[in-house]
Amino acid sequence: MNQKSISPIRTSRTPKPQSISDIVSRSHIISSKKQDLKTKQIQQIRLEIQSNKEYIKQQKEQNLKIARDKVQVIKGIKKPTHLKNSASNSNIKVQVLCKNNLKTHIAWINEVERKIRMMDEQENKLIDQINKACKIQLKVQRGERKCLTPRPSNSIF
Protein backbone atom coordinates (compact mmCIF):
# COMPACT_ATOMS: atom_id res chain seq x y z
CA MET A 1 0.00 0.00 0.00
CA ASN A 2 0.95 3.44 -0.71
CA GLN A 3 1.72 5.75 2.28
CA LYS A 4 0.18 8.79 0.62
CA SER A 5 -3.17 7.15 0.09
CA ILE A 6 -3.54 6.38 3.83
CA SER A 7 -2.72 9.84 5.17
CA PRO A 8 -5.49 12.45 5.23
CA ILE A 9 -5.50 15.29 2.76
CA ARG A 10 -3.70 18.33 4.14
CA THR A 11 -3.83 21.90 3.01
CA SER A 12 -0.90 24.19 2.63
CA ARG A 13 -1.75 25.97 5.90
CA THR A 14 -1.25 22.92 8.04
CA PRO A 15 1.97 21.25 7.09
CA LYS A 16 2.45 17.65 7.99
CA PRO A 17 3.99 17.35 11.48
CA GLN A 18 7.49 16.04 11.42
CA SER A 19 7.79 14.76 14.96
CA ILE A 20 5.96 14.25 18.26
CA SER A 21 7.34 17.50 19.62
CA ASP A 22 5.77 19.36 16.69
CA ILE A 23 2.42 17.71 17.44
CA VAL A 24 2.65 18.63 21.14
CA SER A 25 3.66 22.21 20.38
CA ARG A 26 0.79 22.56 17.90
CA SER A 27 -1.76 21.23 20.38
CA HIS A 28 -0.35 23.57 23.03
CA ILE A 29 -0.65 26.54 20.66
CA ILE A 30 -4.25 25.59 19.81
CA SER A 31 -5.23 25.14 23.46
CA SER A 32 -3.52 28.41 24.46
CA LYS A 33 -5.40 30.22 21.66
CA LYS A 34 -8.67 28.75 22.94
CA GLN A 35 -7.80 29.82 26.48
CA ASP A 36 -6.88 33.30 25.29
CA LEU A 37 -10.19 33.52 23.47
CA LYS A 38 -12.07 32.36 26.59
CA THR A 39 -10.22 34.82 28.84
CA LYS A 40 -10.97 37.63 26.39
CA GLN A 41 -14.65 36.68 26.37
CA ILE A 42 -14.71 36.48 30.17
CA GLN A 43 -12.96 39.82 30.45
CA GLN A 44 -15.42 41.38 28.00
CA ILE A 45 -18.37 39.97 29.96
CA ARG A 46 -16.87 41.33 33.20
CA LEU A 47 -16.49 44.77 31.61
CA GLU A 48 -20.10 44.68 30.43
CA ILE A 49 -21.28 43.65 33.90
CA GLN A 50 -19.23 46.41 35.49
CA SER A 51 -20.59 49.02 33.09
CA ASN A 52 -24.13 47.77 33.73
CA LYS A 53 -23.54 48.02 37.49
CA GLU A 54 -22.27 51.58 37.09
CA TYR A 55 -25.26 52.47 34.90
CA ILE A 56 -27.70 50.99 37.43
CA LYS A 57 -25.92 52.83 40.25
CA GLN A 58 -26.16 56.12 38.34
CA GLN A 59 -29.86 55.52 37.64
CA LYS A 60 -30.52 54.78 41.33
CA GLU A 61 -28.67 57.92 42.40
CA GLN A 62 -30.56 59.99 39.84
CA ASN A 63 -33.93 58.54 40.93
CA LEU A 64 -33.04 59.12 44.59
CA LYS A 65 -32.10 62.74 43.84
CA ILE A 66 -35.38 63.29 41.99
CA ALA A 67 -37.33 61.76 44.88
CA ARG A 68 -35.50 63.96 47.42
CA ASP A 69 -36.21 67.04 45.30
CA LYS A 70 -39.91 66.14 45.16
CA VAL A 71 -40.01 65.71 48.94
CA GLN A 72 -38.30 69.06 49.44
CA VAL A 73 -40.74 70.72 47.02
CA ILE A 74 -43.68 69.22 48.89
CA LYS A 75 -42.27 70.38 52.23
CA GLY A 76 -41.72 73.83 50.75
CA ILE A 77 -37.96 73.80 51.30
CA LYS A 78 -37.05 73.88 47.63
CA LYS A 79 -38.58 75.36 44.49
CA PRO A 80 -39.94 72.97 41.89
CA THR A 81 -37.56 72.50 38.96
CA HIS A 82 -40.03 74.01 36.49
CA LEU A 83 -40.17 77.19 38.61
CA LYS A 84 -36.43 77.62 39.21
CA ASN A 85 -35.92 80.28 36.55
CA SER A 86 -39.16 82.12 37.23
CA ALA A 87 -39.51 85.08 39.55
CA SER A 88 -40.16 84.49 43.24
CA ASN A 89 -43.43 86.39 42.82
CA SER A 90 -44.91 83.59 40.73
CA ASN A 91 -43.66 81.04 43.28
CA ILE A 92 -45.61 82.89 45.97
CA LYS A 93 -48.68 82.79 43.71
CA VAL A 94 -48.29 79.02 43.34
CA GLN A 95 -47.98 78.61 47.11
CA VAL A 96 -51.08 80.76 47.67
CA LEU A 97 -52.97 78.71 45.07
CA CYS A 98 -51.96 75.48 46.80
CA LYS A 99 -53.02 76.85 50.18
CA ASN A 100 -56.33 78.04 48.71
CA ASN A 101 -56.94 74.62 47.17
CA LEU A 102 -56.17 73.01 50.51
CA LYS A 103 -58.56 75.40 52.26
CA THR A 104 -61.21 74.61 49.65
CA HIS A 105 -60.79 70.88 50.24
CA ILE A 106 -60.98 71.33 54.01
CA ALA A 107 -64.09 73.49 53.66
CA TRP A 108 -65.68 70.86 51.41
CA ILE A 109 -64.89 68.12 53.95
CA ASN A 110 -66.37 70.22 56.76
CA GLU A 111 -69.51 70.84 54.68
CA VAL A 112 -69.94 67.12 54.02
CA GLU A 113 -69.51 66.36 57.73
CA ARG A 114 -72.11 69.03 58.58
CA LYS A 115 -74.58 67.51 56.09
CA ILE A 116 -74.00 64.06 57.56
CA ARG A 117 -74.72 65.40 61.06
CA MET A 118 -77.92 67.06 59.80
CA MET A 119 -79.03 63.81 58.14
CA ASP A 120 -78.33 61.93 61.37
CA GLU A 121 -80.46 64.44 63.29
CA GLN A 122 -83.28 64.10 60.75
CA GLU A 123 -83.03 60.33 60.96
CA ASN A 124 -83.24 60.49 64.77
CA LYS A 125 -86.31 62.76 64.52
CA LEU A 126 -87.99 60.34 62.10
CA ILE A 127 -87.23 57.42 64.41
CA ASP A 128 -88.78 59.34 67.31
CA GLN A 129 -91.89 60.12 65.23
CA ILE A 130 -92.18 56.47 64.18
CA ASN A 131 -91.86 55.34 67.78
CA LYS A 132 -94.55 57.82 68.90
CA ALA A 133 -96.89 56.73 66.10
CA CYS A 134 -96.25 53.10 66.93
CA LYS A 135 -97.02 53.70 70.62
CA ILE A 136 -100.23 55.53 69.76
CA GLN A 137 -101.29 52.75 67.41
CA LEU A 138 -100.51 50.15 70.06
CA LYS A 139 -102.58 52.05 72.59
CA VAL A 140 -105.49 52.20 70.13
CA GLN A 141 -105.27 48.51 69.41
CA ARG A 142 -104.86 47.80 73.16
CA GLY A 143 -101.82 45.68 72.61
CA GLU A 144 -103.59 43.06 70.51
CA ARG A 145 -101.23 43.51 67.51
CA LYS A 146 -97.68 44.73 67.15
CA CYS A 147 -96.90 47.77 65.02
CA LEU A 148 -95.16 46.28 61.99
CA THR A 149 -95.57 49.21 59.60
CA PRO A 150 -95.62 52.36 61.68
CA ARG A 151 -96.87 55.59 60.14
CA PRO A 152 -95.37 58.98 60.91
CA SER A 153 -97.49 61.41 62.91
CA ASN A 154 -98.01 63.71 59.93
CA SER A 155 -99.66 60.89 57.94
CA ILE A 156 -103.10 61.43 56.35
CA PHE A 157 -104.57 58.29 57.89
pLDDT in tens, 117-145: 888 888 888 888 887 877 777 666 655 55
Are 91 and 68 within one domain? no
Structural domain that includes position 65: 24-78
What does the pLDDT read at residue 108?
79
Assigned domain for 10 exists: no
Assigned domain for 44 exists: yes
**71 confidence band (pLDDT: 50, 70, 90):** confident
| C-alpha distances in Å from residue 36, one per residue of 7, 39, 43 | 31, 5, 10
What does the pLDDT read at residue 94?
62
What is the domain count for the chain? 2
| Among 152, 145, 146, CA closest to 131 | 152
pLDDT > 80? residue 38? yes
Residue 145 vs residue 15, higher pLDDT: 15
